[in-house]
Structure 1
Amino acid sequence: MNPTPEQGARAVLGTALCVLATWASLLALTGLVAGSRWFAVACGGVLVVAVATTLTRAATRRWWAPTAVGATVALVGLVLRYGAPPGRPQFLPDLDAAGRAWATARQGVAVVNDSFVPMPDVRPGEMLLVVGGLAVYLLVDAAVLTLRVPAVSGPPLLALWVPGIVLGFPAGAAPMFWTAAGYLALLAYGAAPLHAHAGRLQRVGTATAAAVALAGTAMVAGPPIMDVPGWASLALPTFGDGPVGPLELSDDLDLRESLGMRSSQVVLTYRVSDPSAPQGLGAGDAQDDTAASDTTELGLDAEGATPAPAAGPAVDARLVGPLRAFTMATFDGRQWERTENEALEIWDPAALLSSDPRLVGTPPDPAAGTLAQVDLEVGALRERRLPVSTFPRTVTVDGQWGYDSLRDEVVGQRSTGDGLTYSMLVQVPTLTAADLRTTDVGTPPESDLYTEVPDSAHRQDIAALAAEVTADAVGPYDQALDLQTWLRSVANFTYDTRVPPARSSDAVWDFLEDRRGYCVQFATAMAMMARTLDIPSRIGVGFLPGERNDDGTYVVTGRLAHAWPELYFDGLGWVRFEPTPASQSGPPPAWADPFSGIAAPGSVPEELAANRPTALPSGAATAPSTASPAAEDQDDSWAPAAIAAGLVLLAAGTAVVLVLRVRRRRRRVMTPEDAWRALQRELARADVRWSDATSPRGAVREVQRAVDARSGRELDASARDALERLAHVVEQARYAPSPPEHRTDDLDRWVQEVRAGVRTALAQDAPAPVTTSA
């Protein structure tokens, strides 16, 4: 037999409880995901689907219809939100939108597989979370309102807690409490009798007294119980605090993948000091300890002004620049691959390591640049390459490490581990734009690796575009500067962690056409365009400088992982450029800054200082930042969304009212069979039922017995007479050769009289049993 779904005001109440229980259960994932946007989107999606199921349930009694309509609305909504073309909304779903939504879901799976806790709040991951929330709501709604078995709603609600429990990061005590409260409310809803008036005061009084007693007992008995010996030794559950790791930089960067794995764990902490300063006074002490981390990133002093030229460049993290772990030279049109070099060298800890062969093995020279002492400690980083400055530097580290002179990398036999310390004395050259402008490109070792451009259908298109962008440039430096400026321009490109679906076999050309991407796409595009101009290039992968603490130390987290291009100049070696927009990477190096006339790498022009980014740099190659996932996502305005949601709810409410009015108008039955079915529905809401196989006279007896058993009273005369009359005309309609006609007003009146009589009888308390003495 088909289940009898809930309807009417009771169904609306049940839907509200299902929504609240689902929202509470979604809180279970807050310990796994950074940010809160995903939660707001998931809750909104659940509410929209709940409105759809409510309207469907009010319009039809087919038990499967609300779930089917809700699932359809959920599917269409997912396609419209996550399948829309980048940068513009979509109002009607089509096959292209479905394909993009499917691609986003696949990216979400990759994000989940590659992420550390907390997972970044990016659109692909958000989509999977929203799908989970909608699925849980539909299952809970079906269990409570369609099957009318609220206890079955427990497993779907529990499903959202499984990932956090398995990974050891449950959300917390408050979400657990609200989820349990939601489930208990659903159980109470299912246990409440349909004739809600029967014994209402007694039930309310009992529930209130029990709640007060439970709360009072907890408050009084809690402290003594906590003082019982041995209580503190119990292994109570923890609620998700502490890091997860370790972090390892990826050895292949795929331009087709959206921004995935990101971690907020601390991977490095370090201190930068001036070795020429008086003992006990380092750079961190010479500057104001209250300087904010964003001004430190930009190389500004505590007042937001550039350092005084007379004092030379400030010895800080900005001067030392990003810390590079390794480089990549081999690109196949879609993916970078890291190559291994087994020919490692032992180096003198007091001598320089550099990409310039003329400096390797020489002692640091204060006359050749500014010296900076950097003392580092590794945190949750497991990497065989030691993060070092891109400038010439000495490296002192314990353990078995070798130097790859071809790639300027410090490589270990084992990975780094927590607590590993090492130090560098960095020699920062006084490199200027003028130095680069008068320098030709050089020929690095293994030069073929750094000049090869993948053979694709759009190779000539990329070369033509590079020539067009650099048409006015004179020399390789001006060409490189034009490429960087063109890519960094917000008028040309948008930083976006979502990679649109492929249009061709050349990922670089797709990026140049779509004009959206993150640091890997920006760095790759500049490197490949430079190669078409015969400038050797490669990709550096490492970490941005980090955030400065009050004690002068810098903290680098996994979210500051980054990729950038390096171009080879004769006599200068590999020189870093920064094509990724400033909102994610900060300002470019001084020698690559077209607005800077200051020679010191640690300086920043006043124009840039006045317009410094409002967000911390957070580009990412493999362990990207949890800062803004996409420019348009950050600029989302909640006001239009709130207005739209209000209009949707208003329209939904209007539709509910109209549907209910139509249903009331249709209560005027036309035939005896219509009247009988209407009476059967009305009495079922009062939990008075009979089978379709029961004859009309048998149904009369069933109704009378049910009323008598539950209230101890018989139906009043008018209700009993109306029930018998209606049963009689139904028998005539079914069995008489020529059944008489009956007025629809009479049929409708009989239905209403029986309904009112049954509800009145059931609303009265049963009389107390009469006892007689022996």
Structure 2
Amino acid sequence: MSAAAGPERGLRAVVGTALCVAATWASLLALGGLVEGSRWYTVACTAVLVVAASAALARAVSRTWWLPTLVGGLVAAVGLVLRYGSPPGRPQFLPDLDALARAWDVAREGVRVVNDSYVPMPDVRPGEMLVVLGAVGVVLLVDAAVLAVRVPALAGVALLALWVPAILLGFPAGALPLALTGLAYLALLAFGAAPQHARAGRARRAGAAAGAGAALVALALVAGPPLMSVPGWASMSLPRFGAGPVGPLELSSELDLRDSLGQRSSQVVLRYTVTGAEDDGTDDGEDGAVDLGSADDDDPVADARLVGPLRAFTLATFDGRSWERTETDDLAGWDPAGLLASDPALRGLPPDPAAGTLATVEVQVGALSEQRLPVTTFPRTLDAAEDWQYDAARDEVVSDDPTRDGERYAMVVQVPDLTADRLRDAAPGTPPQAELYTAVPPTTNAEDVARTAREVTAEATTPYEQALALQSWFRSATNFVYDTRVPPARSQDAVWDFLQTRRGYCVQFSTAMTIMARSLDIPARVAVGFLPGEADDEGGYVVTGRLAHAWPELYFEGLGWVRFEPTPASQTGPPPVWANPFTGATVPASVPDEVDRDQAAPVPSASSTAPVADGPSGPGEDVSWLVVALGTGVGLVLLAAAAGIGVLLARRARVQAYLTPERAWATLRRRLARRGITWSDATTARAAAVRLEDEIGRRSSDVTAADAARAALASLLAAVEAQRYAPQGAAAPQDVASTDADRRSGTAGTRGSDRTEELAGWVETIRLACTRPVSDRPRADAGPSAPPAGP
């Protein structure tokens, strides 16, 4: 701590706190190029304000330099646990061990988000927690440097910490955030340089500090560009370690239903184009080209929605909580002109325009590191590199080496004319390794799950109608809520927990429908891949990590694996045309009231995801009431803190009147003037003291009281003259030794309090001796009474 004085106090401390908050807010803008959106900035600024206000309130009631930082840290810790450790769907107002554990899990997830995401990082709760944690840490360090130890220059180190990630990764926030941070830091330096007590020249020094800061900023703005163009300067640059992606996306092959939705990414993982037969067809099929035939006016438009999602892999083994993938060695090459399909009857045949709509899909890999090639779920030909092999049992294309940025492959997709009527007449098929796709884990609630499946499909008469009833039941907004946070487990059966809480994201929806379909003897599996891309300005489609998704596939005789979509429409758009009740399919009588009202809604720009991939643009949860409650609570806390500080400042106003000898002398002069004892501004303190000694002699008949008043007057005079004429307002001569000793022993704050009380005692002693009328104190040499000294 500075030897000059204790921590800042009073109105000056309030101003310093405001400057610390402003500097931290400005420095947070440095992260604008690293994190998407603005919600994180709003939350972080609110947290900074609350923590700084808590530290300011503690500083107002305590003279200990370290206590405000400790209080601010405790408030920050409790706030982080309550915000990020509350159970999903309901607020929590008192922290407990469970909340602490959940907050710790969110923090760990945030670290994984930072490590696995691309720049800019998505604005998700785990990442937001780390940003808020860093922001409150910075404001506490800045507050301690400026107001506790009173070395404002150290605040620059803490503020720089928020700029280091942007500098190292090569994503600067721009000139305005840098200028605001610089101005805030200059204001902190000027605050520290401003004198605490001396009034003389205060306006001049404040103006000089402000002028110097403005001149420095102006000089940087004007001289910066010319200097950067000078030879030598232009060749120097900061490292750009993060100019590109900070890590490719990889889909996990193990999905845990009890994990909340994790990291999301806006980085492009795939780009592709879709062209119809009229655009790409050939008439001879020479040189390995595929004959697409001729286009029909009634054919659907060839676009990303027609081709559907791109599936990377499927999962069959489920233990009641998580999915696991089992690898196979049964891999082989394929004929690039023949179809690859889950239906063995179609495999190896050339694309047939009579069997469905043909479309050419050309794909370019982006930031994707995946050992399974994303391909359409429909039968397709595939022209890819030779190191890829085909897994016929799963209808997957795999390799020992992952995809590379810039890798290309092409498909001719045969989109079948799949209708509800064809599916309604189809029986459950028998896929290869059928035992894997009909197994139901023997959990304690397996029979409860099966009974629920039978109740939902009670009016269905065919396997397809059963599947459609399950899908409609899950998609109904009155039955389930899409939520990226998974509630705590209630049992050993994750599917049963989901059916009880009715909250989850695509992994929960797809898993529940898959297991319930198996309980109805329909082979089912979970597929993982990417939803159709978003159109770009060049006529193609872009797939980002946000579009990673999981969905169920059911196996029908003669049709192979057929996709269904139980995840709500708010995240996935309408279901496939063959599974959409509004396209002519007959829904069982018990289901119409449960059909999702949003199925005809436009396709959103972001979709739900598997926890290993990157998630949606935001959870579909109603938290507006929680935001209002939180904002109201924060406002009440701030109002209470302001009121408390105001009361404390008002109570201390009288004591602060004697804070320095100069103030004590001015208070004494003002109070004596009310009794007619005055002197002009030209009168020195010593001359005024001589007059006061005469008044004490005239008015006091108590020798002991008169001697005490003269001694107090002498001490006050010495202190005033020392402050006025000694260098830097040194202490009164009789107190110099003790003051130095106090500073060395670290009790300067306590000594300052004692000094204030001593000054107040001197003023009160002199006032009592000088302000009583002379008539109240009869003297031996006077008559019955003497004229009063004043009015």
Q: TM-score, normalised by structure 1?
A: 0.79
Aligned to 1:152: 154
Separation in 1, partners of 2:463, 2:496: 22
Aligned to 2:614: 624
- Secondary structure of 1:395's counterpart equals strand
Residue 652 of structure 1, aligned match among 641, 663, 666: 641
**1:405 aligned to 2:392?**
yes
Structure 1 stretch displaced more, 126-135 or 177-186: 177-186
Q: What are the residue-to-residue correspondences of 1:334-733 with 2, within 5 Å?
A: 334-597=321-584, 611-612=601-602, 615-625=605-615, 627-632=617-622, 645-664=634-653, 704-710=721-727
Separation in 1, partners of 2:431, 2:766: 95
Aligned to 1:304: none
Q: Which runs of 5+ in 2 are unaligned?
A: 283-295, 587-594, 665-710, 733-756, 768-791
Whether the aligned pair in 1 keeps the contact of 2:312 and 2:528 (CA below 8 Å) is yes
- Deviations along 1:383-441, whole A, 9 cap, x unmatched? 12111110000001133221110110111342221222211111111111111111111
Q: Aligned pair in 2 of structure 1 residues 680, 70: CA closer, same or farther (>3 Å)?
A: farther
Separation in 1, partners of 2:228, 2:120: 32
Q: Aligned pair in 2 of structure 1 residues 465, 251: CA closer, same or farther (>3 Å)?
A: same
Aligned to 1:7: 9
Q: Structure 1 residue 620: deviation in Å?
A: 4.1
Structure 1 stretch displaced more, 518-527 or 149-158: 149-158
Q: Structure 1 residue 40: deviation in Å?
A: 0.6
- Deviations along 1:2-55, whole A, 9 cap, x unmatched? 982211010001111111122223223333322211111111011112222222
Separation in 1, partners of 2:147, 2:228: 42
Q: Structure 1 residue 631: deviation in Å?
A: 2.5
Q: Structure 1 residue 194: deviation in Å?
A: 0.9
- Secondary structure of 2:581's counterpart equals coil
Whether the aligned pair in 2 keeps the contact of 1:121 and 1:626 (CA below 8 Å) is no
- Secondary structure of 1:632's counterpart equals coil
Q: Structure 1 residue 706: deviation in Å?
A: 4.4
Whether the aligned pair in 2 keeps the contact of 1:144 and 1:153 (CA below 8 Å) is yes
Aligned to 2:50: 48
- Secondary structure of 2:234's counterpart equals helix
Aligned to 1:306: none
- Deviations along 1:545-586, whole A, 9 cap, x unmatched? 111123321111111111111111111111101111111111
Separation in 2, partners of 1:201, 1:680: 21
Separation in 2, partners of 1:270, 1:388: 11
- Secondary structure of 1:233's counterpart equals coil
- Secondary structure of 1:575's counterpart equals strand
What is the letter of the counterpart of residue 641 of structure 2?
A
Whether the aligned pair in 2 keeps the contact of 1:253 and 1:337 (CA below 8 Å) is yes
Whether the aligned pair in 1 keeps the contact of 2:551 and 2:566 (CA below 8 Å) is yes
Q: Which runs of 5+ in 1 are unaligned?
A: 281-308, 600-604, 669-674, 684-694, 716-742, 754-774
Q: State the structure with bigger RCO (CA 8 A, min sep 6), 1 or 2.
A: 1
Q: Aligned pair in 2 of structure 1 residues 223, 162: CA closer, same or farther (>3 Å)?
A: closer
Aligned to 1:262: 264
Query: Percent of pairs identical after alignment?
Result: 60
What is the letter of the counterpart of residue 601 of structure 2?
N
Whether the aligned pair in 1 keeps the contact of 2:662 and 2:720 (CA below 8 Å) is no
- Deviations along 1:286-342, whole A, 9 cap, x unmatched? xxxxxxxxxxxxxxxxxxxxxxx9623222111110011111111222222222222
- Secondary structure of 1:61's counterpart equals coil
Q: Aligned pair in 2 of structure 1 residues 98, 171: CA closer, same or farther (>3 Å)?
A: same
What is the letter of the counterpart of residue 609 of structure 2?
G
Aligned to 1:18: 20
Q: Structure 1 residue 701: deviation in Å?
A: 5.9
Q: Structure 1 residue 618: deviation in Å?
A: 4.3
Separation in 2, partners of 1:45, 1:751: 50
- Secondary structure of 2:622's counterpart equals helix
Separation in 2, partners of 1:682, 1:249: 72
Structure 1 stretch displaced more, 498-507 or 348-357: 498-507
Separation in 1, partners of 2:238, 2:105: 42
Separation in 1, partners of 2:95, 2:611: 33
- Deviations along 1:338-364, whole A, 9 cap, x unmatched? 222222111111100000111111111
Whether the aligned pair in 2 keeps the contact of 1:560 and 1:620 (CA below 8 Å) is no
Whether the aligned pair in 2 keeps the contact of 1:584 and 1:619 (CA below 8 Å) is no
Aligned length in residues: 674
Whether the aligned pair in 1 keeps the contact of 2:362 and 2:411 (CA below 8 Å) is yes
Separation in 1, partners of 2:372, 2:10: 66
Whether the aligned pair in 1 keeps the contact of 2:317 and 2:323 (CA below 8 Å) is yes
Whether the aligned pair in 1 keeps the contact of 2:482 and 2:505 (CA below 8 Å) is yes
Separation in 2, partners of 1:745, 1:80: 48
Q: Structure 1 residue 704: deviation in Å?
A: 4.6
Residue 119 of structure 1, aligned match among 118, 121, 125: 121
Separation in 1, partners of 2:496, 2:162: 41
Q: What are the residue-to-residue correspondences of 1:81-96 with 2, within 5 Å?
A: 81-96=83-98
Whether the aligned pair in 2 keeps the contact of 1:244 and 1:265 (CA below 8 Å) is no
Whether the aligned pair in 2 keeps the contact of 1:583 and 1:616 (CA below 8 Å) is no
Whether the aligned pair in 2 keeps the contact of 1:22 and 1:133 (CA below 8 Å) is yes
- Deviations along 1:705-735, whole A, 9 cap, x unmatched? 34422479999xxxxxxxxxxxxxxxxxxxx
Whether the aligned pair in 2 keeps the contact of 1:262 and 1:559 (CA below 8 Å) is yes
Q: What are the residue-to-residue correspondences of 1:186-225 with 2, within 5 Å?
A: 186-195=188-197, 197-211=199-213, 213-214=215-216, 217-218=219-220, 221-222=223-224, 224-225=226-227
Separation in 1, partners of 2:523, 2:150: 70
Residue 38 of structure 1, aligned match among 34, 37, 40: 40
Q: TM-score, normalised by structure 2?
A: 0.77
Q: Structure 1 residue 277: deviation in Å?
A: 5.0
What is the letter of the counterpart of residue 276 of structure 2?
D
Two-structure CA RMSD over aligned residues (Å): 3.6
